Every structure is written in C-alpha cells, then in structure tokens.
Amino acid sequence: MVSTANSDSNSMKQIVLQIPTFIHVYNDGTVERLRNMPRVPPSLNDPATAVSSKDIVFSINPLLAARLYLPKLNATDQKLPILVYFHGGALCGESAFAAHHHEYCNLVASQANVIIVSVEHRKAPEHYLPAAYDDCWAGLKWAASHANANAIQNNRIISEPWLINHGDFSKVFIGSDSSGGNIVHNVAMRAGVESLPNGVKLHGAYMNHPYFCGSKPIGSEPIEGFEQTLPYMAWGVVYPDAPGGIDNPMVNPMAPGAPSLANLGCFKMFISVAGDDQIIRDRAVLYYEAVKASGWKGQVQLFEEKGEQHVYYMFHPHTDKGKRLIKHVAHFLTQ
C-alpha cells in the first residue's frame, strides 16, 4: 500500500515509509514533510483585508491550538456567523498557521463577514487517525460552548471573547479543502448522532475538492498503478489499522455497510471539484450524488471549475478562477 525505500546502504538514516514527493518517515523516527508551506504569524488588521487574527489554545489535554479570525466590525455588538475550518494536507502535513491557509482564511473572513476558528489538529504518522477527527470535533464543540457564557465559566472551559461577544450561534459552519474536506464529512456525520453544547446545531458544511478513496478505481482514476496514487497511499500512512482498510467509511462513505449519508448533521452543503483533478474529482461527484440519493433532508450544491487542478485556489487565490471559488464559499456562508 505505502511505498518504502532505502537510502545509501552505508548511511545510518534510512527511509522506512514514504508517500513520494509528500512525506518521508525515517528509521530514527524523524518525519520529513516535503510540501509544508512556511508558517506565518497572526496579524492585527491585515493590510489587504482588515481582518484581525490571533492564536489561542483551546484544549490542554490533548494540547490543541487554533488561529481565530475576526473581520472588521461595523458595531461593537455585531454578531457574525462562525466557520470552524479544518486545514488540508493529506492528514499528515501542513498547518492552520501555514501562509496559504492564513491568506485563504483572511479572504473568506473578509468576504463572508464570518468569525473563523482554524483548528490545528494532530497529524499522522505521529498521531494516527482518528486523532485529527477527534481534534476537529473538539474544536467545533469548544466553539459551540461559547453560546452560553455562564456554562463556560461554570465548566472551566477556556473562553474566547471574540466568540462570546460576536458569535452568532444560529449560523455555525464547518468547511475545508482536500483532506480537510474529508474531516468535514466525518465531523458532519458525528454531528448527526452526537449533540453539540448548548443545543447548537450545525447550519452548513462545505467541502472543496474533498478527499475520498476506495479499493477499486472509478471514473478517471488509473487502473494500472491505482494503489500507488496519493489518495490510496495516504490512507495507509494516516490510518494503517483502519477497520476495512481503504474501504473504511471514513475515507469511503459509499462503501458497503457505511452509515447512511441521511445522518449528516447539517442543513445544507456545498461541494466543489476541479475538472482536471483526476484523482479526487470523480469521488467527490459520486459523494454528491450519494448525498442527494440518501434521503438526507438538507440542500446540497455542486460547483465544478473546468480546466483546473486540485486546490488551485489555495495557491492562486487572486486569479479569476481562484476569486470565483472563494466567492462561492463566501456566498454559501452568508445564506
């Protein structure tokens, strides 16, 4: 499932596990993440968007952090929708504090006029799944706990004034891209069977180019070498003991015996795909069709940008196509 390789036989340090061009794990336990973007600090009144951001710790055990974003307010008592954002990175890389996620959150917070809680979840292989799912669920629960300021104090929950003073808890969203979209699916499914604090309901969920996979190739996925594709190999790194392997419902929601998508715990969904994203697109479209056919009572929308590759808008947000996708996300969050 997962590619392994050795370096020079005379070298003490050897690669014992890898996703080529993405991550190397060495025999001394060190991990090299080849695609990680530089991290940037938060900022007060971002010069391009006027969005303010700050880093907080929302859990001590396990130790979990997030970056919060607050757009420019029109009034001191203004209430804003809340987006809990789960960054992408194949569940084994990147960061909520990375430059491209920071810029993206600034743009979305500004255009949609929402508070964003961008969760820094734990990553494989140091922390196998379901750790990231649990961390992101914890981040959503922590945000929802602010719907009752008295309960925060009584339960000794780490409090955040931006959420207490400006959060509209009738409009709580989750969203992300790529592997973060996979997290969105799993958190939305959990919200269908577990209650959030203070009776908060998940209003909506969006997934840009969500990561799903399965044991058999579909659509444009390659028949030859399918098990060497990034989506297939990544699952072996991030959840090597997953029940059912690559057909675990967490990565293959359409697998036989998977929980019904009618249980999704939100009222509306937005899913986007890129036309030239050969290893992700068809699974996301299949997921969209499965949600529509499931009996789920919410509303789901699919948007496709032709002639583009995976998460193009994250690295080129100021192109016409990048702007268009972000505009779609902002529109979804304001309805």
Structure tokens at 11: 């070298």
| DSSP string computed for 33-78 | ETTPPPB----SS-TTT--EEEEEEEETTTTEEEEEEEPPPSSTT-
Q: Given 52, 178, 179, 272, which residue is catalytic?
A: 178
* Nearest residue to 104 (alpha-carbon basis) of 198, 9, 161, 176: 176
In the set 43, 276, 282, 294, the catalytic residue is 276
Cα torsion through 212, 216, 219, 225, rounded to 10: 100
Is 159 assigned a catalytic role?
no
- Token digits for 253? 């929601």
Angle between helices 131-144 and 179-191 (to 10 degrees): 60
178 catalytically annotated: yes
Distance, CA of 157 to CA of 101 (rounded, Å): 27
Distance CA 6, CA 150 (A): 57
Q: Which residues are catalytic?
A: 178, 276
